[in-house]
Structure formats: C-alpha cells, structure tokens
C-alpha cells in the first residue's frame, strides 16, 4: 500500500527541479569565476499581447500579456506597459504585482524557467467618455537584474520587426458602453374588439446610459394600435417605428406600452408580435425581416403566441358635407359597423360632440337626447358581425358663430356592450377604440335672410295702395340677390327702393324680380315699396301680394309656391272696392298704422257746380220747420262766408 505522501511526489519533484535550475547556475558561476554577464547570456524573452475582443466605454476588460523565456536559464523578468489615455489600470487577475505611474505600469514576474512562459491578465477599464476611440497597448520585457538591454515600450510601433521583448496589441475601437436587449411581453389571448396591451422591455446590459432607443414593431395582422400607453411614441402602420424615452441607465429596464385591439384576425388563430432595436442605442434597428430563427439575432424579440377569440368590434365613420355657408343646413352621416366576429343584438349608443357654430335641426336613424355638450343617440340593433352598416343622418345648421371657421364632428361608441364612449377623447391620428373624427368643414360667410310685408288698410279703385316689403339680413355677408314678388296686376308696381322687372306674366297678374338699390349689410334691414292702383274692372276681386327670397342669397323660388314664413311674406287679403265720391282730392291707401307710407301724386278735384237759392218748397222737402230760422250751411267762398237764414214767409210780405 503506497505511503500517504505518495500523491505529493510530482509536486516535490517539480520543486526540486526548480531549485536545481536556480542554484546550479549560481554555483557554477561561483566555481568558475564567471560574472553577471555570463548569466545574462542565457536571458531571451519574447512578449505577446492579446487584446479583448470587445472594448466598451465604462467597462473593464482583460488584456493578456504572455512572456516566453527562450533562453537557457531561469529568469525573473519585468513587464513594462504603456497604456493609452482611454484605458485605466484596474488591477491584475492573479497574484502578480504591478506598480502604476500614470499610464505606465511595471510588473515583476518571478522565476520563468527556460522554455516556459508566464501569463499576466491585466484588467483595463475604458473611460466613460472614450466611445469611438482607437486604442493600442504597448509592452516590453527585460530581466529584473538589468542584465538584458532596457526597452522603452513607447518605442514599440508594431509596424516593423519588433525588438526582442517588445509587443503592440491589436487596435480596438472603444464601443459606446451601451448594450441593449429587447423583450416582448403580450397577452395569452386576444378577444376581437377588446383592448389589451403589449409591453416592449428594453434592458441596458452595458456600462453607460443610453439616451433612448429606437424600436421597430410589427403588430400581428388584424391588430390595430390604439395608443402608446407609456414609455414613448410610435408611428402608425403595419411596421411602427417607436422612440423609447430615455435615459436608460446601466442595469435598468425601460417599458414601452402599446394599447392595441384585435379587429380582423380569424378567430381560433394564433398571432405574435415581433420587434427589433439597435443594441448600441442608435437609430438603426435590426430589420424586422431578419428577426427569424432560433435563437433570434441580437436586437430581435417576439412575443409568445396569443389565440384570437370572437368578439364585437363596433367602428364608426363620418361623412362630412363638401361645402357649407352660414345659414345653410347640411347632412352629416355617421355609419356604425360591426367588423368583429360576434353579433351585437342590442342597441348601441353613440356620443356626438357637436362643434360650436353648428345646431342640430333633425336626426334620422336614431333617437337622440342632449347631455351637456354631447348628443347621445340610441341606434337600434342588431349589428351582425360583418353585416350591413347602420347610418345615422344629422341635419345641422351652420350659424353665424361658425362663419369663416373649419369645424369637425366627433363621435364615439363603446365597443363592448353598446354603452357610450366619450367623443371628446377623439382627437384625430390613431383614434381610441370606437372613435371617429370627420373631415374639417369650412363654413363660408353668407347672408341669412328674412322677409316681412306691411299691407295697406284698403284697396280702392283709382287710389294707390302701398305695399311695403322688408328684407332683413342676419348673416355675415351682404345680400345682393333679387326678391321675387307675385303682383296681382299687369300694370307696373311703381317701386320705390328697388328696380323690378317682369319675370313671368299670367292672366291679370305678373311675377316680378325686384333688385334692391343697394346691398343689405349683415345685421341690417332694407325696405322697398310697391304701389297698386286697381281698375274699376277689379272691384269685388281679392288682392294678395306674395314675396319670397332665398334664405342664403341665391335665386328665390316662385312666390306662388311659398308658404308664409321667414323667407316668404304674404300680404293681408283685401277686397277691391269702388271709389266713394268726395269733394276733396283723392288720397292713397297707405300701409296700416305704424308702417312706412309712400304717397303717390294727388288727383285734382273737379269744380263744384253753382245752384239757385233754396225755396220754401225745397226746404219743406228737407223736413225742417219752415216757420223758424235755422242756420243751414256755411259756404266757403273765397275768404268770406254768408249766413243764410230761413224765416217764415208772411202773406204779401217778404222774408
């Protein structure tokens, strides 16, 4: 049985060999009288430097210095190292000893046997601000007893045959110190129409902070981005480009949250999200097409598969009118569709944010009520999956408040149970779920017109009846178009304040087109008058005058077809009467009290006939007592008057 010390024999044998190698030359030199030069003759060193494969700013890497003793005697060399400014000495891996003086190192190596080698692993740290720097490490080795010639490592160029014991490391570019990794965390299933989120995790495994990160992301087919919930911004489209908010410090993780909804994938299928980034923190991410294989290339990541479940997906679309102007009523069409894979049987409630300056006049296809500034419309179901859409039409008036502005209708519908979403959250761009924003509608300035008419008190043959037509402009632009008038006579109306021409003539009547003498400014009222002087043949007929105007200053409709209202004025129906003989001049029958009156030319009165004095017989015919005096009449003759007294006639006498 071997002794307990047997396992130690190889080590003892090596120690003995080492002692022999150290002592034998010394003893031999002493016996033969040889000096230090004899020992120096056996020293022959070679040096090589192995640089780190990657060098990153702020990170510590290992450089290997290998010293080979090619001489025939044992030696204890000294390693001299010159470091570039971008590298700092951080210590040795092993038990050797190095002294640092600035960028120069001096490392003592003990007892290298002939034909043997010593390896020193120097830990060198790239400065945090050294990114993109080109670095080389220079080294030289000499015998510690000074027997070999001194070599300054600064003279080692690496471009020519190196001197004995001289070496230059390979050149390295210092990296940024940023080493980003990407991961994608997604749901285990996607229900059509139900929002969910994907999280992109960006970890910095480097030594320097990243200012941010640029990520490419391809959502599964049929999955739509609703919003970036946290961590940055993204463009829309099949391949989104996202900017992750920094800084991302060493050993920290940034989270980019994507709020998405499945709309189109077939139920029962599985989908996954694929993303990539620039591992150095730059803006050149790995192309998504290259993110294939197992394992994935650096900078690529993908989520686990998620199963698609059926669901309701209500979507909205708004059809905006092409043009509008103040005072006009235009139709807006809101289309409700179910693009999901599950029917919705019940009604859906759509919230509509009506822009300022528009007023709802009528709604077709839904029952609506006002809740604060939002119009809530209950749209009856059902909404079959993939079926025909339901259209709600809103007729909206453009008021003066919208003049010269662009307005947009916003709508929202809850995607789950027919509830209501907030349309004020719909603001364009990638819309929240169930949102729609109509195209901007420019509302041009324009007149908004109203008509009024004042009738005369009577219509009498050979007398002028005055009709007064009032045009009021409550819009934002002047009114210059004509007013249409139905005139109950073929005779001209002798207008005052307008120029009228016959547009059409019928039996005993005509239709006039009356242009005002000057435009009606916004907020102003203009008046013009028409004069009717009926003939005797019209006695007993009823006279009605009508006037119409286009509410927005266009060509007016025929007044015969209009109904009394803001843009249609109808006079009082009056019967033409015969003239009553009078001793004075004839007068015009003007508008009723309180209205403007237009007076035509006065008619001259025929001279009064002269009559003989009245007799008692004539007076008796009057029924008055003839035996008493009565003042009968005052005759106006020039500037004087005569009082005629009637008395009782005496027999044979005079009055």
**pLDDT for residue 336:** 93
CA–CA separation, 357 vs 399, rounded Å?
Answer: 5
Confidence of residue 496 (pLDDT cuts 50, 70, 90): very high
pLDDT of residue 83: 95
Confirm if 193 and 416 have CB atoms less than 8 A apart: yes
Give residue 499's pLDDT band: very low, low, confident or very high (50, 70, 90): very high
Average pLDDT, rounded, for the chain = 80
Please, which residues bridge with residue 233 across strands?
243
Q: Identify the residue whose tokens are 């924003």.
A: 437
Neighbour tally for 378: CB within 10 Å: 15
Structure tokens that stand for 593 in this block: 């009290």
Alpha helices (H) in 556-655, listed in sequence order? 616-620
The CA-atom distances, in angstroms, between 288 and each of 256, 301, 553 are 18, 10, 60
Q: At 8, is the secondary structure helix, strand, or coil?
A: helix
Lowest-pLDDT range of 30-39, 79-88, 183-192: 30-39
What pLDDT band is residue 618 in, cutting at 50, 70 and 90? very low
Q: Is the pLDDT of residue 280 over 50?
A: yes
Q: What are the two backbone dihedrals, phi and then psi, of residue 560, each rounded to the nearest 5 degrees? A: -65, -25
Alpha helices by DSSP H, 366-492:
none
| Antiparallel, parallel or unpaired: β 459-460 and 574-577 | parallel
- Write out the two tokens for 318: 């708004």
Per residue in 76-107, pLDDT (tens digit) is: 889 999 999 999 998 887 656 789 999 999 99
Higher pLDDT, 595 or 202: 202
* pLDDT, tens only, 348-379: 889 999 999 999 999 999 999 887 678 989 99
pLDDT at 5: 35
Residue 285, class by beta-carbon neighbours within 10 Å (0-12 exposed, 13-18 middle, 19+ buried)? buried
The residue that leads in pLDDT, 266 or 51, is 51
Q: Cα dihedral angle (105, 111, 112, 113), rounded to 10 degrees?
A: 170
Among the listed ranges 181-190, 251-260, 632-641, which one has the minimum average pLDDT value? 632-641
Question: Does the pLDDT of residue 480 top 60, yes or no?
Answer: yes
Q: Where does the pLDDT of residue 164 fall: very low under 50, low under 70, confident under 90, or very high at 90 and above? A: low
Q: What 8-state DSSP symbol labels residue 171?
A: P
Per the model's pLDDT, the better-predicted residue between 301 and 425 turns out to be 301
- What are the angstrom distances between the C-alpha of 246 and each of 22, 285, 440, 514? 62, 16, 36, 73
Question: Cβ distance 548 to 554 under 8 Å?
Answer: no
Which whole number is the average pLDDT over 470-475? 93
Token pair listed for 589: 């029958």
What would the pLDDT profile of 517-549 be if each residue is shown by its tens digit? Answer: 999 999 999 999 999 998 888 899 999 999 999
Distance CA 654, CA 631 (A): 19
3-class state of residue 493 by DSSP: coil
Burial call 574-587: b when 16+ CB within 10 Å, e when fewer: bebbeeeeeeeebe
593: buried, middle or exposed (CB in 10 Å: 19+, 13-18, 0-12)?
exposed
Angle at 589 between CA 588 and CA 595, to 5 degrees: 115
Q: How confident is the model at residue 430 (pLDDT cuts 50, 70, 90)?
A: low
In tens, the pLDDT along 9-21 reads 444 444 444 444 4
Report the pLDDT value the prediction gives residue 148, as an integer from 0 to 100: 63
What integer is the mean pLDDT of 381-397? 91
Confidence of residue 653 (pLDDT cuts 50, 70, 90): very low
The pLDDT tens digits for 104-153 are 999 988 888 999 999 999 999 998 888 889 999 999 988 766 666 677 89
Averaged pLDDT, 224-235: 91
Taking the CA atoms of 182, 188, 189 and 190 in sequence, report the sign of the dihedral they define: negative
Q: Please answer whether residues 291 and 279 qualify as being in contact, where contact means their C-beta atoms are separated by less than 8 angstroms.
A: no
Instruction: Please list, in sequence order, all residues whose beta carbon lies within 8 angstroms of the beta carbon of residue 200, skipping any fewer than 6 positions away.
Output: 182, 183, 184, 215, 217, 231, 242, 244, 255, 256, 257, 258, 275, 301
Greater pLDDT, 307 or 94? 307
Q: Kindly tell me if the per-residue pLDDT of 604 is higher than 60.
A: no
Residue 561: predicted pLDDT: 81
For the chain, the straight-line distance linking the first and the last C-alpha, in angstroms and rounded, comes to: 200
The percentage of residues in the chain with a pLDDT greater than 70, rounded to a whole number, is 77
pLDDT at 597: 35
**Residue-level pLDDT at 434:** 79
C-alpha distances in Å from residue 182, one per residue of 296, 365, 463, 573: 11, 50, 98, 87
């Amino acid at each position: 049985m071997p002794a307990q010390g047997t396992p130690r024999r190889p080590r003892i044998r090596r120690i003995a060999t080492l002692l022999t190698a150290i002592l034998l030359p010394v003893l031999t030199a002493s016996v033969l009288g040889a000096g230090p030069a004899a020992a120096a003759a056996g020293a022959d060193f070679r040096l090589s430097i192995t640089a780190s494969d990657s060098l990153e700013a702020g990170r510590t890497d290992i450089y290997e210095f290998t010293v080979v003793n090619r001489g025939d005697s044992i030696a204890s060399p000294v390693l001299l190292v010159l470091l570039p400014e971008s590298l700092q000495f951080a210590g040795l891996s092993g038990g050797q000893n190095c002294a640092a003086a600035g960028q120069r190192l001096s490392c003592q190596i003990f007892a290298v046997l002939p034909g043997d080698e010593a390896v020193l692993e120097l830990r060198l740290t790239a400065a945090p601000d050294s990114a993109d720097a080109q670095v080389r490490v220079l080294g030289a080795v000499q015998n510690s007893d000074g027997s070999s010639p001194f070599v300054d490592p600064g003279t080692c160029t690496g471009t020519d045959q190196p001197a004995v014991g001289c070496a230059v490391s390979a050149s390295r570019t210092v990296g940024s110190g940023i080493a980003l990794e990407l991961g994608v965390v997604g749901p285990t299933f996607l229900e059509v129409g139900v929002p969910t989120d994907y999280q992109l995790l960006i970890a910095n495994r480097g030594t320097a902070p990243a200012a941010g990160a640029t990520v490419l992301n391809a959502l599964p087919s049929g999955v739509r981005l609703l919003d970036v919930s946290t961590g940055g911004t993204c463009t829309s489209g099949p391949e989104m480009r996202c900017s992750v908010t920094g800084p991302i410090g060493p050993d920290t993780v940034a989270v980019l949250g994507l709020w998405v909804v499945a709309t189109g994938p077939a139920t029962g299928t599985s989908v996954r999200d694929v993303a990539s980034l620039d591992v150095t923190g730059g803006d050149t991410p790995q192309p998504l097409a290259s993110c294939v294989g197992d394992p994935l290339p650096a900078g690529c990541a993908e989520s686990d598969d998620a199963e698609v479940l059926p669901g309701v997906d209500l979507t909205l679309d708004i059809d905006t009118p092409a043009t509008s102007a103040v005072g006009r009523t235009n139709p807006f069409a809101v289309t409700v569709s179910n693009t999901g894979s599950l029917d919705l049987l019940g009604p859906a409630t759509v919230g509509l944010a009506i822009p300022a300056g528009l007023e709802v006049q009528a709604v077709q296809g839904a029952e609506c009520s006002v809740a604060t500034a939002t119009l809530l419309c209950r749209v009856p179901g059902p909404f079959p999956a993939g079926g025909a859409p339901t259209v709600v039409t809103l007729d909206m008036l453009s008021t003066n408040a919208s003049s010269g502005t662009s307005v947009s209708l916003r709508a929202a519908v809850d995607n789950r149970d027919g509830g209501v979403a907030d349309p004020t959250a719909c603001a364009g761009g990638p819309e929240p779920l169930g949102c729609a924003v109509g195209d901007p509608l420019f509302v041009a300035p324009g007149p908004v017109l109203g008509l009024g008419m004042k009738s005369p008190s009577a219509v009498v043959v050979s007398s002028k009846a005055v009709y007064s037509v009032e045009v009021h402009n409550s819009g934002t632009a002047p009114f210059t178009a004509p007013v249409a008038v139905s005139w109950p006579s073929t005779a001209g109306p002798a207008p005052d304040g307008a120029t009228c021409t016959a547009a059409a003539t019928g039996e005993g009547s005509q239709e006039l087109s009356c242009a005002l003498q000057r435009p009606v400014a916004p907020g102003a009222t203009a008046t013009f008058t028409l004069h009717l002087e009926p003939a005797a043949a019209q006695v007993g007929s009823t006279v009605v005058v009508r006037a119409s105007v286009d509410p927005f200053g266009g060509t007016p409709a025929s007044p015969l077809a209009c109904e009394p209202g803001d843009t249609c004025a109808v006079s009082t129906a009056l019967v033409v009467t015969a003239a009553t003989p009078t001793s004075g001049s004839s007068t015009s029958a003007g508008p009723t009290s309180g209205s403007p009156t237009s007076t035509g030319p006065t008619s001259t009165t025929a001279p009064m006939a002269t009559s003989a004095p009245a007799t008692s017989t004539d007076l008796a015919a009057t029924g008055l007592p003839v035996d008493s005096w009565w003042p009968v009449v005052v005759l106006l003759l020039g500037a004087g008057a005569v009082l005629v007294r009637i008395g009782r006639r005496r027999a044979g006498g005079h009055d």
